[in-house]
Amino acid sequence: MKADMSFKDYAEYYDLIYKDKDYEKEVDFLEEIFETFYKPKKILEVGCGTGNYTRILLERGYEVTALDISEDMVKIAREKCACKFIKGDIRDVSINDEFDACIAMFTVIGYITKNSDLIKALNNIHRYLEPNGVFVFDVWNGLAVMSILPEQRMKEVENDKIKIIRVAVPNLRAFDHICEVNYKLLILNKEENTFNEINEKHVVRFYFPQEIKYYLENAGFEVLRIGPFLDLNGKVDENVWNIVVIARAVGKKV
């Protein structure tokens, strides 16, 4: 499946599905990272999705350029945020600007599944960062995925109008470092008493710490920290599913 199709039908329901995700707390974490390593003014947000990070970052005074491959996601983000949006693919997008920081939050880099595409994306991010600019992203930790193993999950959320039951069935492709997540969404329209079904496959790559370090260094980054997501001083091992990676652009621009 093409990356820009992953959120095709899902986009409309994304904010309801993740209504309990504490974006304010996650932006607090980002700011802790900025305070510790490098304080940016201008941020390139890769994979902005429906703009939940974007909105908070703008409220907190950052200048944000928000990029996403999915037109459907960007459309929703535009309604929430007044900033520059780019509908584009981080592997090959051309941006006539430079930034103090780049962020790719909530597994965006996991949607880049091929080695060659990761190299393209990292080189491109490096190109748009000022020297010493920081790149912060979170991914699934391969150590944990292979130790804990992905499981089928169910989630129910609702608002006044609809109720969503989402079933996520994983298919682990260990050799490729990939977990295909087959989402089935049952959407019950409470007013009309009808329901609709959506099926979407998200192909997500997990990354091993040493592997991500290798790719980053080859693209001209210095890795400053790989830690548990939301715990800047914690240690990564096979029990930590989500990891944050913090890197600094040091090498020559390619």
Ligand X SMILES: C[S@@+](CC[C@H](N)C(=O)[O-])C[C@H]1O[C@@H](n2cnc3c(N)ncnc32)[C@H](O)[C@@H]1O
Distances (CA, A) of 12 to 83, 140, 164, 187, 245: 21, 25, 12, 11, 29
What b-and-e string marks burial along 99-111, b requiring 16 or more CB atoms within 10 Å of the CB? bbbbbbbbbbbbb
For the chain, what is the radius of gyration of the CA atoms?
18
Smallest distance from ligand X to CB 111, Å = 4
What is the layout of strands, in order, in the sheet containing 153-158? 153-158, 162-173, 178-189, 194-205
- Residue 120 or 194 having the CB closest to ligand X: 120
Q: Which residues, listed in sequence order, are joined to residue 68 by a DSSP beta bridge?
A: 87
Smallest distance from ligand X to CB 175, Å = 22
- Residue 27 or 236 having the CB closest to ligand X: 27
- Residue 28 or 237 having the CB closest to ligand X: 28
Residue with the closest Cβ to ligand X?
Answer: 49
- Residue 8 or 163 having the CB closest to ligand X: 8
Taking residue 146's Cβ as centre, other Cβ atoms within 10 Å add up to 15
Smallest distance from ligand X to CB 194, Å = 28
SS3 state of residue 185: strand
Residues that bind ligand X (CB under 6 A): 3, 7, 46-49, 52-53, 67-70, 73, 89-91, 105-108, 111-112
Smallest distance from ligand X to CB 154, Å = 18
Identify which of 68, 104, 98 has the alpha carbon closest to the alpha carbon of residue 86: 68
Smallest distance from ligand X to CB 93, Å = 7
- Residue 72 or 100 having the CB closest to ligand X: 72
